[in-house]
Structure formats: structure tokens, C-alpha cells
Amino acid sequence: MPFDINEFKEKFGSARQHALDKTNNELASEISSVSRLTNEEIIDLFPETTDMEKLASLIEIVNSSEEQNTKINQIVANAEKFGGIILSLVKKII
């Protein structure tokens, strides 16, 4: 049976998308369990896995037992990383 590259690409792409969707749904579920956002809101606001990972990092800082100034310094030190996440969250609440 000859190898069909187009069929391979299609099946590979489908498997990749299925895995990505499953990962994003699981991440959204974990984030929604510690926030006031629903899974759907999280997926809508942060459709990329990397954005959900950044949001999880931000939540970790905010929920830490560190002093407020330490939290602020950590957020400022990662301003480029968290900038888009913060903008999305603020847009959601206004």
C-alpha cells in the first residue's frame, strides 16, 4: 500500500487538534476551579495553551502567601509575560 502524504497530514492534524482541545479543556477546568471564571469564559479569553499557562502563573503569584509588595514586584518583573493576560482580564470586567 503506497504512502499517502496528504492522508497522513490530515490524520496528524486531526490528532494534534484533538490533543490540543483536550489539553485546553483540562487547563480551563483547573483554572476555573480556583477562579470566578467558567471553563467557557477561560477558553474564550485565552484560546492558546500558552496563555492559559501564563494565567496559571499569574494566579499562583496572586494566591501566594507573599506580601503584597512582593507579589507586585513579581508581576512587574514579568510584565511582558503577563501584559496580554492582564488586559484580557480587565476587558472582561469592564
Summarised one tens digit per residue, pLDDT across range 13-53 is 999 999 998 998 999 999 989 888 999 999 999 999 999 99
Does the reported pTM lie above 0.85?
A: no
Number of domains present in the structure of the chain = 1
Considering only CA atoms, which of 19, 13, 80, 25 is closest in space to residue 52?
25
**pLDDT, position 18:** 93
Is 42 exposed, middle or buried, given 0-12, 13-18 or 19+ CB atoms closer than 10 A?
Answer: buried
**pLDDT, position 3:** 84
**pLDDT, position 83:** 95
**pLDDT, position 80:** 95
**pLDDT, position 1:** 73
pLDDT tens profile 51-85? 999 999 999 999 999 999 999 999 999 999 999 99
Residue-number span of the structural domain to which 20 is assigned: 5-93
- What is the chain's Cα-based Rg? 18
